[in-house]
Amino acid sequence: MPATIERQDGEGQDTHQGLAWPVTAALRALAMDAVEQAKSGHPGAPMGMAEIAAVLWRGVMRHDPADPRWPDRDRFVLSNGHASMLLYGLLHLTGYDLPIEELKRFRQLHSKTPGHPEYRMTPGVETTTGPLGQGLTNAVGMALAERTLAAQFNRPGHAIVDHRTFVVLGDGCLMEGISHEAASLAGRLGLGKLIAVWDDNGISIDGKVTEWFSDDTPARFRAYGWQVIEGVDGHDPEAIARAFAQALADQTKPTLICARTTIGRGAPTKQGHQDTHGAPLGAEEIARTRAAMGWTHPPFHVPAEVYAAWDGRARGAALSAEWRDRFSTYAAAHPDLAAEFERRLAGDLPAGFADAAAVALTAETAAGAVATRKAGQIALTEFAKALPELLGGSADLAHSNLTFHPKSVPVTRDPAGNQILFGVREFGMSAIANGLALHGGFIPYVATFLVFSDYARNAVRMSALMGLRVIYVFTHDSISVGEDGPTHQPIEHVESLRLIPGLDVWRPADAAETAVAWTAALERRDGPTALILTRQALPPQPTSGLDVLAETGARVLRDAVGPCATLVATGSEVRLATDAAALLAQAGLPVRVVSVPCVERFEALPVEARAALVPAGTPVVVVEAGVTRGWRGLAGPAGRVVGLDRFGESAPEKDLLKEFGFTAERVADVVAAAVGGSAGGAA
């Protein structure tokens, strides 16, 4: 190993000397060794990005390995998440709580080094990445959160929020459509503290990307309004450092640094080839690479002087201490703001939350027969008064989703604003919401038509996988959308969202249930919620069971002595169920009606509590204007599901409901058939 750990000027120009820089050799060796030991993984990108990472993590980025949650740290996102060993190497070498034993257990069960970086699993991992393009988009959300939080909390002479968001991305991220949505909106918003580095290695899994990707990417990003720094040699530390300096200097535009790199750099016979992307290099090539780098150490061994050169703890401690001093001064000058800042960052609801929830519920009860999207707006209006952390908007459907309120101020007009006009960018919006939640200080909510939750689906999944408090407002929730027809009528969507582990799906039956749903979504700290709301007005239902609905997910709306069946329904079909129950009662067939706005909470109940709501022994008939498959278990062999297992049609709502049998008469008939009686006289 060369005696000099730190590089000299001009070394980056020399390929061989560059390779022999022990600082980057350590990163490359750890990536090779861990992938080899795991017998799977992606060595190519970590090896190709070693110099970029070293320059960024050792000097540019402000972070404290001992305090990975320090609020004003710079954020780092590895959008090409398969390069996870780069990140684990960086965390280990700079002094985070990630010992070498964890690197040896790369990709093993319950290690802190999973195949792709996972939020909450590893200190210093800011987001879960792997699904391409979403890391970049999370970063846009983080940068927006930083700017908004700064505008809300900084005061003259007190910049307590002032950090950068760095994101590294590959060709794959740039090909994904979501990169367009994210970069376009970041350009419009002028997120000047967002700095992206494109690992331009010209290779993706199928080979040389020119065969399927020939964009002029710098021109594309300039068209979005970004600062673009082109032609940076990604293996020349000096050039990289200059590019970061230029990026840091312009705070009016996001920056894309285009860094030309060689995938798998250092591996003498494999570098530059897709074979380095997603498979171990093999013992022979690893030996050759060690020789080329002059790295004589055994696997997973890093000499003390290299650790010392990487160690970021002293610098980090100084940076975070300086910030704590700044925050103390701020707290002395603005004690209330400081306390509020700490509450916001902790994710605690404000003291007035319970009151706001009560007021919202009262307002809903007074609202009468309204669409649940309108009820959602009523709830949002009340909560927005009490929760300045609410930051959200719609994908160009604000006036349809009704996700604005009297205190809405677009962030484009006031950086301290609370409304984001996302444009027609459902996927980008949702991954940005994940970034807002990851950053901290905000409860994001985002909205579109339910049918277009499809466009955003993997970001919803990522909210759930990361356990983020993101609120999805999906309106226009069934064939009752009407004339817009089958492209706009959800059929499979409510049930499909219920299948995502960890996502709470609420489909309220009236305005009051909508208030409960909004309240539950806000109170839930460990995961996302989807609010499924109607376009059309729904009558208010009885208030029985509302007080415990957040726990039970279900409530009895109408009961009977000795009921012959239980009618279970959600959302707009609850009205049908209660109307059918009235018809059945006239026909001498008393039934219980149960609203189940949140299946997840209902199913989480102990079996006795569930049976207390939906008893065994009499047939269960479920009514929901969507696919039936998920409900057949609850209905059981003696029951029925009144649903819709085909696409809808373009027509006025009333015609569709009749066409597809969503009438109280038909529901009553189905119940009567299930119990072996007849509702004919009544219907």
Which residues ranging from 593 to 632 are in contact with a second copy (CB under 8 A)?
Answer: 616, 627, 629-632
For the question of residue 426 being annotated catalytic, the response is: yes
- Give backbone dihedrals phi and psi of 116, rounded to 5 degrees, phi first: -120, 150
Dist. CA 531–CA 508, nearest whole Å: 8
Question: Would you count residue 452 as binding a second copy (CB under 8 A)?
Answer: yes
Residue selected from 62, 461, 535, 666 as contacting a second copy according to rule CB under 8 A: 461
Options 12-20, 238-246, 336-344, 652-660: segment touching a second copy (CB under 8 A): 652-660
Partners of 513 in beta bridges: none
Question: Would you count residue 108 as binding a second copy (CB under 8 A)?
Answer: yes
Question: Would you count residue 107 as binding a second copy (CB under 8 A)?
Answer: yes
Dist. CA 636–CA 625, nearest whole Å: 19
273 is in an annotated binding site: no
Lookup: tokens for 246: 């230029």
Question: Would you count residue 642 as binding a second copy (CB under 8 A)?
Answer: no
Residue selected from 156, 501, 617, 676 as contacting a second copy according to rule CB under 8 A: 501
116 is in an annotated binding site: no
- Residue with smaller CB distance to a second copy, 341 or 422: 422
Options 200-208, 312-320, 363-371, 558-566: segment touching a second copy (CB under 8 A): 200-208
Dist. CA 628–CA 616, nearest whole Å: 20
Q: Are strands 165-169 and 194-200 parallel, antiparallel or unpaired?
A: parallel
* 122-151 binders of a second copy (CB under 8 A): 128-133
Residue selected from 45, 357, 378, 500 as contacting a second copy according to rule CB under 8 A: 500
557 is in an annotated binding site: no
- Residue with smaller CB distance to a second copy, 571 or 639: 639
Cβ atoms of residues 241 and 229 within 8 Å? no
Q: Give one word for 402, left, alpha or beta, with left for phi > 0 and alpha for psi -120 to 50.
A: left
Question: Would you count residue 465 as binding a second copy (CB under 8 A)?
Answer: yes
- Give the burial class of 317: count Cβ atoms within 10 A of its Cβ; 0-12 exposed, 13-18 middle, 19 or more buried: middle
Site size toward a second copy (CB under 8 A) is 113
Q: Are strands 591-595 and 529-533 parallel, antiparallel or unpaired?
A: unpaired
- Residue with smaller CB distance to a second copy, 205 or 548: 205
* 12-41 binders of a second copy (CB under 8 A): 38, 40-41
Partners of 233 in beta bridges: 260
373 is in an annotated binding site: yes
Report, in Å, the least distance between residue 647 CB and a second copy.
Answer: 5
Question: Would you count residue 224 as binding a second copy (CB under 8 A)?
Answer: yes
Torsion of CA 185, 190, 191, 195, to 10 degrees: 90
Lookup: tokens for 239: 């050039």
- Give backbone dihedrals phi and psi of 162, rounded to 5 degrees, phi first: -165, 75
DSSP 122: S
Catalytic residue among 426, 495, 513, 573: 426
- Residue with smaller CB distance to a second copy, 340 or 454: 454
Interface map 44-83 toward a second copy (x if CB under 8 A): -------------------------------------xx-
Lookup: tokens for 422: 């996302």
Contacts of 541 (CB under 8 A, 6+ apart): 509, 510, 512, 513, 557, 574, 575, 578, 595
CB count within 10 Å of CB 416 equals: 15
Question: Would you count residue 392 as binding a second copy (CB under 8 A)?
Answer: no
Q: Considering only CA atoms, give the Rg of the chain.
A: 28
288 is in an annotated binding site: no
Question: Would you count residue 361 as binding a second copy (CB under 8 A)?
Answer: no
Dist. CA 571–CA 626, nearest whole Å: 11
Question: Would you count residue 425 as binding a second copy (CB under 8 A)?
Answer: yes
Residue selected from 29, 98, 375, 398 as contacting a second copy according to rule CB under 8 A: 398
Cβ atoms of residues 677 and 683 within 8 Å? no
Question: Would you count residue 635 as binding a second copy (CB under 8 A)?
Answer: yes
H-only helix segments in 39-176? 44-48, 50-55, 84-94, 100-104, 134-153, 171-175
Residue selected from 485, 539, 542, 590 as contacting a second copy according to rule CB under 8 A: 485
Options 19-27, 160-168, 303-311, 646-654: segment touching a second copy (CB under 8 A): 646-654
- Give the burial class of 170: count Cβ atoms within 10 A of its Cβ; 0-12 exposed, 13-18 middle, 19 or more buried: buried
Question: Would you count residue 216 as binding a second copy (CB under 8 A)?
Answer: yes
458 is in an annotated binding site: no
Cβ atoms of residues 438 and 469 within 8 Å? no
92 is in an annotated binding site: no
Question: Would you count residue 90 as binding a second copy (CB under 8 A)?
Answer: no
Residues flagged as binding site for substrate: 42, 277, 373, 400, 476, 484, 488, 535
Residues flagged as binding site for Mg(2+): 171, 201, 203
Residues flagged as binding site: 42, 82, 130-132, 171-172, 201, 203, 277, 373, 400, 452, 476, 484, 488, 535
Q: Return the active site residues.
A: 426
